[in-house]
Amino acid sequence: MLTTIGIAGTAKNTGKTTTLNALLHYAQSGARSTNDAPSMSFRAAEGGEKSASAQETQSGFLTSPARSRNSDGFGMTTGVTSIGYDGEEIDNITLLPKPRIFLNRGMIASTSSQCVPENGWSVLYKTGLFTALGEIVIVRCETPGLIVLAGPNKRSELETVVRQMADLGCENIFVDGALNRIAPMSIVDKIIFTTGAARTTDIATLVDEMKAIESLFGIGRTKWTKSILKAEGHCEGAQRPKQSPEFTRKTRLLRQTTARNDNDLEFLRWPPNKQEKPPINVILSEANLPAGQAGNPDFSAGNSTGTIIDATEAEIILQHYKIMCYVRRGGYPLHIDGLITSNGLRTLVERIHLLPDAERPQEIIFADPITMLLSGEPKTTAQLLSHLIEKNITISYQKPIQLAAITVNPFYPECRGTTYTSAYVDAKVLISRMKQSLETPTFDTMRNEVSELNRCIK
Amino acid sequence: MKKILCVPFDPVHDVGIKLIKNSLAERGHCTELLPPDLSMEEIVKKAAATQYDYILVSRTLGYGVAELLARFNDLLDAAGVRESTKVVLGGKPITPELAAELGFDKGFGEHSSIDEVIAYIEDRPLNGTADNHKRTKPDIASHYFYSFRHKRIGELLDTIAEKTLHWAEGKSSSGIERCKIQEELSAVSDPSQKKRLTDRYNSLCDPVIADANSKKIFPKGVRYITDDEMENVRLLIREKQPLRQQNIRHHSRQPLIFKFLGSGCPTMDIVHAKICERYGVNGFLIVNPSWEARYEGLLHGLLTHENDGTITSEENIRLMRDCLNPSTLLTVRAHRGLNTPEMIYLAAKAGADMTKINLVYGSLGAGTDPERLTVDGLYAMKIAAEHNMAFDIPGNDELSGVPAAKSLAGLLINVMLGKKLGAKAILKPLFCYGPDIVLHGQMKQNFVDYNAAKIRALRSIVDAPIWPGEPIAFMTQTEERVQSANATSYHAALAASTGVDAITIASTDEAFSRGPITIASRIDSIRAVTDAFRFMGDASFQPTAAADNFTDDFVRKIQSALETVAAYANLPEAINAGALGSKEDGAYPGKFGKGTVRNSEQQIPNHK
């Protein structure tokens, strides 16, 4: 079973690659020998303390039976990629040293062709997709060594490349983030969020923000059932023959039809124990436009490449939702796929509050927690959603993602004139406050807690 | 036709994207420029509403801008725009690595041209005039006929050259012998023959050189380059693709730009050279350690030297040649010292393009004995001619205090000797504030007239290439880098204005570095000259009437000096007698190699 684990950060320098290295080191130690149980400090790429038990390694998520299944005998279980540019010696912006990425023999990486070292790596597959640094290639490590990762940096391409890596034998794929970028992470199964002093040195703000992020990931968790996964495979699989069901997602919202045929009924099971009615998607087209808006090029029908739901669009969606409910005689879940802005969400909340109880949607399904995070400040988004919950509206995601762990980094680059220097906030205070306030397992990036971190993403 | 949305993310620095928009529109693409005051969400909304092929974003980097751009990309991605639209980032500090990190499909930075952006959008390779990566190797001397326009001076030079060639007939030296051994060594493969020749070579060397070559006991500070150092250089050349090469010259009629290399360490020289190449330097002169001129014999092998000057062994020259762009010129100096013929032979063998010979300057300023250098130098000119290497003649005796006219007379003697031996000479008058000028005030009014007059005088005498040096602005630079860069750029502008073929420029810390000069200082002067050339374009300096007087004075004094030299039996005798720089001037005939010229069966080749 393929598991994709993303490592996303609230900002640059919050410890994404350090966290990745810790996970990779654990995987590599596991791959070498189950008796040589791994453990390491996040800080040191080449650690080697023996604190985790052999039992833990054998049952750990990184120890996969695929190693023995694979014909090449290298145990092609771990894959790694980055949505940015990671593993370089010196940071592109601060010019401070960065953690390097060291892979063991047999591990698989996807990176841009210009980043593949001349020796020690064999190219397994050329993807035909390009970054600013050339074609993305999937390579296997033949001689343990350092690599710079610059993999697919947009959601659809990450999804494709992850699928291809899985086809090449990867069972666990780590996706390293870049700066504060998170959009492509909406395709991962589990996520580790990194935060720290590089985001802000104000500990209270950091804790508040992380709490809000945690709450956004936590939405609808209890309603996350197998039925939705089953339904998703059914919806779009035909258009992407190379994608296996667990990686297919429903298409982007709003161009979805409002009329559904019987085959879609499977989808209607979700959420369970509710009336079996399909969620209502709204097409944003000229037909939906309020009077006077027709002809606005922003809404030219059939020509749009994407959807961003701002205040105007939120109003249209609700108007349409009301009509559909009336036509279909009953309350249906409202499906808001795609990106909704803070203004869009605020308008939605305000308008829904004004609606009589009978006309309110009982459920709203958003795309995924990552897209929700992109709405605006996590704290604002969480507050707005709480206003919906106040009205007994069930909130859930079409594609939930498990927030597996949080790592916290006391380091930050301090700007001094035109140069940066390394600085730290009080690590003890930072970590203890975080741990007190968060339910998700939280770790100090600088401390030796890798085996516990691994347990979280099993 | 592509549909392109241009987004000036930065309301102030939007000139670039406007230029690109106009160029794209001219090529028939459908372009749209957004106003600069939209919120990020508004821009994403706009981008999502229409099917654009490309979104071009321009933004300079600043505090928090990376995060801003990252969020912009995230919003586009989450809104579904990136599935069909490519998002491109442009701005001064943008590199491909940064573009990848920020999640853009492509990045264009300071060194990208508009043509590159258009080629990317049109999905075709960069072609035609836009591609200035490809350079051809220039030939400085090829367009000159070496005809003497000043009849009397031509006659005098002919007399001096004939007398000197006649005097040198039948004379040889250990320097010439070693050169011949090298020629033989390259022709034999039999180990015993090689051993015999090598032993013979070492017997003709000073003990310190012979010991180094035979017993590997090197002079202090000299050692082999390690395998690791070699590997690092190879990696550097192979893996670090230079950014788009810049041009220093605004147009091809402006002079070629040369720089010195001579840190002592060939690998450091290569790193410096590669950076200079990228900034548009056309060629380099290897400066060797001063002791190489004083000892009989040369060291062999890939050697580094923790002191001024890079050892000019065949292996070192070849390494440097191999690492330079094919179009970059390489000159190896051999103008003074006891190894002139051999050095030129090995330089030619290792692929150097040009060399440096000056029988007069090499014999003055505490250099080599005039007789020895004349005998060796004439043989060296023959070698240069055989290998089609032009040689430049630095007029640096002016720095010893020799008046400019005498120095120029010396250059002309070398030109005539070269002509008679089939070698092409390049005149190198100084653009300097030399001791004679300080004493006599020729530059009291300005630095233009006197320097311009040197070029005018030489042009009125002979049709030969001119390459002021060495470096230009000698004695006008101070320890302050901006002043130093300015001084170089003004002299470069004057050189361009006079239509010379090439110039040598120093780094801004060349005279004050107290060790190897720094890359930053090299770039200082290169950039200053680039700007000066851009500033000048086809315009030129207008020297005052004094320049005409200086020109006439130069020609008269050159003729007078040559009359004096022609009265002597041969060139060495004239030099020893101070005809081309006296003790009063500050010039002393060299003593190295004194008494080592001997008669031999070997004939110094006569003129063609």
Beta-carbon separation of A308 and B70 below 8 A = no
- Write out the two tokens for B121: 């959008």
Spans of all domains in chain B? 3-130, 153-576
Judge if ipTM > 0.95. Answer: no
User: What was the pLDDT predicted at B172?
Assistant: 93
H-helix or E-strand spanning residue B178 = helix B174-185
- d(CA B529, nearest CA chain A) in Å: 27
Q: Mean pLDDT across the stretch B463-476? A: 91
B90 contacts B56 by C-beta, under 8 angstroms: yes
The highest-level CATH class for domain B153-576 is alpha beta
Residue among A84, A306, A343 minimizing CB distance to B81: A306
SS3 A428: helix
Whether pLDDT at B597 is above 70: yes
A303 chain-B contacts, CB cut-off 8 A: 49-51
Q: Which amino acid is at A324?
A: M
Beta-carbon separation of A83 and B103 below 8 A = yes
Spans of all domains in chain A? 3-219+402-456, 224-397
Q: Mean pLDDT across the stretch B204-229? A: 91
Please provide the CATH number assigned to the domain covering B3-130. 3.40.50.280
- Write out the two tokens for A65: 């039976």
User: What was the pLDDT predicted at A245?
Assistant: 31
Could you confirm whether domain A3-219+402-456 is CATH 3.30.70? no
User: What was the pLDDT predicted at A357?
Assistant: 82
Q: Mean pLDDT across the stretch B346-350? A: 94
Beta-carbon separation of A370 and B107 below 8 A = no
Tens of pLDDT, residues B383-417: 999 999 999 999 988 888 899 999 999 999 999 99
User: How many CB atoms are closer than 10 A to CB A447?
Assistant: 14
User: What was the pLDDT predicted at A96?
Assistant: 81
- d(CA A12, nearest CA chain B) in Å: 8
Query: Cα dist. A110→A125, A244, B209 in Å?
Result: 9, 19, 55
Residue with tokens 């598991």: A3
User: What was the pLDDT predicted at B448?
Assistant: 96
Strand ranges in B29-124 using DSSP code E only, listed in sequence order: 30-33, 54-58, 86-90, 106-108
Tens of pLDDT, residues B92-127: 888 889 999 999 999 998 878 888 999 999 988 876
- d(CA A72, nearest CA chain B) in Å: 31
Q: What are the phi and psi torsion angles at A79 (to 5°)?
A: -120, 155
Strand ranges in A113-176 using DSSP code E only, listed in sequence order: 121-131, 134-141, 145-146, 172-176
Residue among A183, A303, A308 minimizing CB distance to B50: A303
Q: Which amino acid is at B518?
A: T
Residue with tokens 């809104």: B79
User: What was the pLDDT predicted at B132?
Assistant: 46
Tens of pLDDT, residues B534-592: 999 999 999 999 999 999 999 999 999 999 999 999 999 999 999 999 888 888 888 89
- Write out the two tokens for B461: 């005498």
10-residue mean pLDDT series, chain A (458 residues): 92 90 78 38 34 31 34 58 90 80 93 91 94 95 94 95 93 92 94 94 95 90 36 31 31 30 31 45 46 34 65 84 70 81 94 86 89 94 92 89 94 81 91 94 80 76
Strand ranges in B348-505 using DSSP code E only, listed in sequence order: 354-356, 390-394, 425-428, 430-432, 469-474, 502-504
Dihedral over alpha carbons B164, B167, B170, B176 (to 10 degrees): -40
List, in order, residues 6 or more apart from A94 with CB less than 8 Å away: A13, A413, A420
Whether pLDDT at B288 is above 50: yes
With the C-alpha atoms ordered B139, B140, B143, B147, is the resulting torsion angle positive or negative? Answer: negative
A305 chain-B contacts, CB cut-off 8 A: 47-52, 80-81, 83-85
Which residues does residue A36 pair with via DSSP β-bridges, in sequence order?
none
Share of chain B above pLDDT 70, in %: 94
Query: Cα dist. A25→A22, A115, A138, A390, A453 in Å?
Result: 5, 21, 20, 45, 12
Please give the residue that has the higher pLDDT: either A95 or B473. Answer: B473
Whether pLDDT at B182 is above 80: yes
- d(CA B71, nearest CA chain A) in Å: 6
User: How many CB atoms are closer than 10 A to CB B183?
Assistant: 16
A299 chain-B contacts, CB cut-off 8 A: 49
Q: How far apart are the C-alpha atoms of B159 and B562, rounded to whole Å?
A: 10
